[in-house]
A and B are shown apart, each in its own frame.
Chain A
Amino acid sequence: MNDFTGEVIANSEIAPGAFLLEMSFSGLPEMRGGQFAMLEPPRDDCVLRRPLGICMAAPDYAAFLMQVKGGGTEAISRLECGDTLRVTMPLGNGFPVKPGATAAIVGGGFGIAPLYMTAAECGGNVRIYNGFATAKQVMLADRFAAVGRLTVCTDDGSRGYRGYPVDALAEDMDGGFVPDVIYCCGPEPLMRAVKKLGEERGVETYLSLEQRMGCGVGACLTCTCKVAGHNTRVCKDGPVFRSTEVYL
């Protein structure tokens, strides 16, 4: 049973509207990059839990990167140290990591959250391309730089590579970088571009999809996406799918 009550140990706004919520737990199971958690907003009128990618994890610790979007996430953003919160995790399949493989990791905005642990799980030969709108929105660059060769990208060029992270990856591949596998999470246009790049160049590509979610455990069938032509549960059968299986 993956239902836990944890205590907030830090909740800081690391970019405008972006909170890194760090919590302590006891007895967490092993959790993988790409798996997610359902967090119960501290508001009685919020019926649904909020699905968030698990950004960092240890047996007694988990951290979530959260965008404030509405009343529920706003309430979570106001949690202070010592406050408690119910969390169901780990949920979903996670990225299938191939130890020792050369991996390219492409993240866009809040989509970088589940990729940190994935990069760490890959081990040495990892290149990470994280994209943001502007320098102000850049998040967790120090952390990512510690688990792979990081290229920060901004749409306006205010920091790092000017342009989308998929273009930075394509340039590196043109220059001789040959990844065995690509892992991606981000806005749909980015994932569409990464799917195209990976498939054109014959690189196995995995995408972590996002969809409005109900139960988060596979029962309600509200968070479906088309996989091989059939409506498939993002929460239970995903959220990570092979790019060739999904339509974007």
Chain B
Amino acid sequence: MNTRVNICGVELKNPVIAASGTFGFGREYNEFYDVGMLGGISSKGLTLLPREGNDGVRIAETPSGILNCVGLQNPGVEAFIERELPFMRESGAVVIANAAGSSLQDYEKICERLSETDVDMIELNISCPNVRCGGMSFGVLPSSVEEVTRAARSHCSKPLIVKLTPNVSDIADNARAAENGGADAVSLINTLTGMAVDVYTRRPVLGNVTGGLSGPCVKPVALRMVRQVYKAVSVPIIGLGGITSARDVLEFMLCGAAAVQVGTANLSDPLACADIVNGLTAEMEKCRIDDINDIVGKLLD
């Protein structure tokens, strides 16, 4: 049985990647299991300079989901390279550096700097809903998606994944724009913007007022969007949004994902990714799948 997948020339031992922002740089979960068993790890979103993130309440639970507004708290790209990358590299999982900028120049500089290191791939975060400058504002209009992708591409010698926001009128247009701008792959979906309200205080629960919705409640939206994008572009798709089980992985792959990311499930259960990887072959057997690559996009719709 084969679970190996190849994304833009990078081989992953299985299609399960820990999603950016839910896994730190892997150290905390490595206390629970060997994170080298994962196909890959996408780092916390990295900015050029260290970032404190948002003040106030940063998380709220919703039915079958969570809202967060962390706001890209991270040590900055230089501290990542010095202090975190060696651990990630050593782990044995494919290393994806998630790059977040506030301007085109930021994206260019981060990509340039990361290209000098031994990260395997760069994931362009143009879809964070929780920061004022940059983030999602680059990811909404197709023209701007193409522009920022092109700018990053010209300063990037690694395979470039563009992470798309679902908070747009037609995500297929944005995926095409990323492809036209030179993306080697796209990942989707980032979180859906949402709110939680405290009726007693009459205030928003989150310090940032709005946050990003994730978890099992967004999975149907994510599956639909992966399918739409699969029909619109020819670059590989990394699917994410509410995956909690090996069966969910196969659902995303049927819709067209060549690999997947697991995010919120890590917050629900520190062993989530390990359990998904360990359950993959049994689930493949049940579905009579010999090579996991055989089912990519093969939804009968």
State the Cβ distance, A97 to closest chain B Cβ, in Å: 24
Does A3 lie within 8 Å of B271, measured CB to CB? yes
Are A230 and B52 CB-contacts (below 8 A) given A215-B22, A215-B270, A217-B29? yes
Contact B57–A212 (Cβ < 8 Å): yes
How many Å lie between the Cα of A48 and that of B23 in the bound state? Answer: 15
Please give, as numbers and ranges, the residues of chain A lying within 8 Å of B65 by CB-CB distance. 47
Q: Are B23 and A219 in contact (CB under 8 A)?
A: yes
Partner-contacting stretch, out of A163-171, A201-209, A221-229: A221-229
Q: A218 contacts the other chain (Cβ, under 8 Å)? A: yes
Of all chain A residues, the one with the shortest Cβ separation from B44 is A221
Contact A231–B59 (Cβ < 8 Å): no
Size of interface on B: residues with Cβ below 8 Å to A: 33
Looking at the complex, which one of A40, A218, A224 makes contact with B53 (CB distance below 8 Å)? A224
Are B215's CB and A47's CB within 8 A? yes
Min CB gap A92→B, angstroms: 12
Is B28 within 8 A of A212, CB to CB?
A: no
- Bound: A223/B70 CA distance, A: 9
**Which of A3, A86, A222 is within 8 Å of B58, CB to CB?**
A222
Residues of A within 8 Å of B, CB-based: how many? 29
B31 touching A217, Cβ below 8 Å: yes
**With an 8 A cutoff between CB atoms, is A32 at the interface?**
no
Pair A221/B267 contact, Cβ less than 8 Å: no
Q: Judge whether B3 is part of the interface by a CB distance below 8 angstroms.
A: no
A46 interfacial by beta-carbon distance below 8 Å: yes
Chain A interface mostly helix, strand, loop or mixed?
A: loop
Please give, as numbers and ranges, the residues of chain A lying within 8 Å of B31 by CB-CB distance: 1-2, 217
A88 at the interface (CB under 8 A from B): yes
**B268 part of interface (Cβ distance < 8 Å):** yes
A232: min CB distance to chain B, Å: 10
Q: Considering only CB atoms, which chain A residue lies closest to B70 in the complex?
A: A221
CA distance A1 to B275 in the complex (A): 14
Q: In the complex, which residue of chain A has the Cβ closest to the Cβ of B33?
A: A1
User: B64, A219: Cβ atoms under 8 Å?
Assistant: no
Q: Least Cβ distance of B55 to chain A in Å?
A: 8
Residues in B neighbouring A212, C-beta threshold 8 A: 57-60
A41 to B58, CA, bound (A): 21
Interface 0/1 of B255-272, CB less than 8 Å to A: 000000000101111110
Contact with A along B19-62 (1 / 0, CB 8 A): 00111100011011100000000001000000011000111110
Query: Considering the chains assembled together, what is the distance between the CA atoms of A214 and B33 in angstroms?
Result: 19
Are B66 and A231 within 8 A (Cβ)?
no
Give B50's nearest chain A residue, CB to CB. Answer: A230
Q: Verify A220–B271 contact, CB threshold 8 A.
A: no
The smallest C-beta distance from A72 to any residue of chain B, in angstroms, reads 8
| Cα–Cα, bound, A212→B207 (Å) | 12
- Tell me which of B53, B61, B63, B267 contacts A215 (CB under 8 A): B267
List, in ascending order, chain A residues with CB within 8 A of B52's CB. 230-231
* Residues of B with C-beta under 8 A to A220: 21-22, 24, 59, 68, 70, 266-267
| Cβ contacts under 8 Å, A88 to chain B | 270
Does A236 have its Cβ within 8 Å of any Cβ on chain B?
yes
Instruction: Tell me the bound Cα distance from A231 to B58 in angstroms.
Output: 12
A44: chain B residues at CB < 8 Å are 64
Closest CB in chain B relative to A122 CB, distance in Å: 29
B53 touches A221 (CB 8 A): yes
B268-A217 in contact (CB<8A): no
Among A1, A46, A223, the residue within 8 A (CB) of B61 is A46
What is the CB-to-nearest-CB distance from B37 to chain A, in angstroms, rounded to a whole number? Answer: 14
User: Which residue of A has the minimal Cβ distance to B61?
Assistant: A48
A213 an interface residue at 8 Å Cβ cutoff?
yes
Add 8 more A-B contacts to A214-B59, A222-B70 (CB < 8 A). A1-B31, A3-B270, A48-B267, A88-B270, A213-B59, A214-B68, A217-B29, A219-B28
22 contacts between A and B (CB under 8 A): A1-B31, A1-B33, A2-B31, A40-B268, A45-B63, A47-B61, A47-B65, A47-B66, A47-B215, A48-B59, A49-B268, A213-B59, A216-B270, A217-B29, A218-B28, A219-B23, A219-B29, A221-B24, A221-B70, A222-B58, A222-B70, A223-B59
CB within 8 Å of B: which residues of A?
Answer: 1-3, 40, 44-49, 72, 86, 88, 212-224, 230-231, 236
